[in-house]
Every structure is written in C-alpha cells, then in structure tokens.
Amino acid sequence: MSIFRKPKYVTVQTKKSSIPDGLWVKCKGCNDTIYTRKLEENQKVCPKCEYHYPLKASERIKMVVDDKSFQEMDVNLKSVDPLGFVDSKPYKERIKQAEEKTKMNEAVVTGIAKIGGVKTALGVMDFSFMGGSMGAVVGEKLTRLIEKAARDKIPVIIFSTSGGARMQESTLSLMQMAKTSAALGRLSGKGLLYISVFTDPTTGGTTASFASLGDIIIAEPKALIGFAGPRVIKQTIQQELPSGFQKSEFLFDHGLVDIIVERKNIRNTLVNILQFTVK
C-alpha cells in the first residue's frame, strides 16, 4: 500500500557540515545565512542588510561601463622590488602569489570607457591584490590615466578600495600620494571633472591622496573610510570615538562625502553626473 512507502524525496539536511562549500555564506553584515547565488544576483549586496561585499575590479567595470566599451591601459605594467624587501616573505614572492590568486598584474585596473555615451577615464582598485595597496605601479597607472584624461579632455572616475601605501616599497609608495595628487591638480587646472568613489574599505595613503580629492565624492553605504585605524586613533587621542566613526554615513554627515549611492544605482548616478556636466 502506497501510504506505507517511504517518501521518494530526500529529507533536507539541516546540519551545517552537509552544506557544500560556497553554496551558502554567513553575511558579514547581519550574520544571517545567504544563498550565494542570491548574493551574486544582487550585485554582491546582502538582500537582508544591504552589506556591500567587495567586488573584483573586472566585476565593477562590467557593472559601470557601456557594454564592451572598456579599453584597458598599461596592462603589462608590473611591480619590481627595488629595495629587495623581505618581511615574513620576500616581496617578489608576495607579488607572484597575488598575481596567481587574482589573475591580475596589479591592484588597479585603468582604461578608457564610455559611460552613458560619455568617454571617461576609469580606474578601479581591487582589494584582493595585496589589500589594494598603493605601490609605484598603482600610482603610475593612475597618474598615466589622469594625464591621458587631461590630454583628451575627458573626465576621470576612480573607484578606491585600499589598505593604504604598500609598505614593501617604503618611500616609493608614499611618493605616489604626491604624484597622483599633482596629476589631479593639473586635471583640475584644465577644468576637467574628477569623480572619486569610496568603496569598503579605503584607508591610509589612498584616502589621504587621490580618493579624497574628487570634485564629487561618492561612497558606497557603510564603507570603512579612514586614514589610521580606529584603535590607533583611540590610543592617540585617549578618547572614546563617536559611533559610526569612519563609515560613509558619518563622513557624509560631516561633509567629506557628497553622496552615498547604493551599488544598484551607481551606474545611473555616474551617467547622470557625466551627462549633466560634460559637454
């Protein structure tokens, strides 16, 4: 008799160990469990708490530019190791590992694209390559991008995410702050637009240079934006830090960020600004 038969379907297993790797993730924002595919479909934004997960440079470029319009610049510019720097590992080895892991040559991708039909110089950083750290190549690629924009009289957009200057390059990485800032100064002198977009996290020398110099500064929601980390500041000033310190919303309230834009609206926002401001 059919009612005594075992059900054909398999009981859904709820034990955590039975979940294959990568199918579910525990959200960093709300600790809830999210289906990885849902996260991918939602541009890597948690559908429950809207935590904006980091994106690869390639994903962000695809999200922002007009279809197939991106032409990459300086693809083969690679970091060298002028100081022969060794911490727990030689710097050369770290670069090699980062290249293998990310299939990228450096922590920033630059190029020319059309956004809403407007020719734009676009730079996008990638945190997965050595924490988005700014070494001589990151600075050089961005400077060449900005200088090309100045020559071609087109606007610049840079998406930042970075742990700051690359310590393995010491002073050479710190000099990139001055170099990129000077290039932006020349761009500004020609009356050309620069839009900076802060994404989570942007800190150190990147915040202290080109990322904070936008004519228009955009931030993704709840992104960590700062120079030194909160613990260092707390120890230095010996005071409790206000709640929400170093988050996009806090910086917006204090006038350092102009607009907070959710990922799903970023392309439209950039298109509107570009079409409104660029003749």
Residues found near Zn ion in the complex (CB under 5 A): 27, 29-30, 46, 48-49, 51
Between 19 and 75, name the residue whose CB sits nearer to Zn ion: 19
Between 49 and 228, name the residue whose CB sits nearer to Zn ion: 49
- How is residue 268 written in tokens? 């439209």
* Distance, CA of 167 to CA of 38 (rounded, Å): 37
* Distance, CA of 117 to CA of 180 (rounded, Å): 26
Beta-bridge mates of residue 122? 111, 157
As measured in angstroms, the least distance from the Cβ of 33 to Zn ion is 9
As measured in angstroms, the least distance from the Cβ of 223 to Zn ion is 15
As measured in angstroms, the least distance from the Cβ of 47 to Zn ion is 8
DSSP class per residue in 186-240 = HHHHTT--EEEEEEEEE-HHHHTTGGG--SEEEE-TT-BB-SS-HHHHHHHHTSP
Residue 211: name the closest of 223, 263, 277, 75 by CA.
Answer: 223
As measured in angstroms, the least distance from the Cβ of 45 to Zn ion is 9
Q: What is the CA 214 to chain-centroid distance, rounded?
A: 15
- How is residue 266 written in tokens? 């970023």
As measured in angstroms, the least distance from the Cβ of 102 to Zn ion is 25
**Could you give the C-alpha distances from 172 to 10, 89, 180, 181, in angstroms and in order?**
60, 19, 13, 15
- How is residue 120 written in tokens? 């734009």
Between 148 and 222, name the residue whose CB sits nearer to Zn ion: 222
As measured in angstroms, the least distance from the Cβ of 186 to Zn ion is 42
Between 221 and 229, name the residue whose CB sits nearer to Zn ion: 221
Within 8 A by CB and 6+ apart from 118, the residues are: 154, 155, 271, 274, 275, 278
Between 49 and 167, name the residue whose CB sits nearer to Zn ion: 49
Between 206 and 248, name the residue whose CB sits nearer to Zn ion: 248
What does the chain come to in residues?
A: 279
**Upstream peptide bond of 201 is cis (omega within 30 degrees of 0):** yes
As measured in angstroms, the least distance from the Cβ of 38 to Zn ion is 11
Between 48 and 179, name the residue whose CB sits nearer to Zn ion: 48
Between 29 and 116, name the residue whose CB sits nearer to Zn ion: 29
- How is residue 158 written in tokens? 């840079």
As measured in angstroms, the least distance from the Cβ of 243 to Zn ion is 19
What beta strand segments (E) does 126-229 contain?
A: 156-162, 194-202, 216-219
Question: What does residue 35 show for φ and ψ, rounded to 5 degrees?
Answer: -75, 125
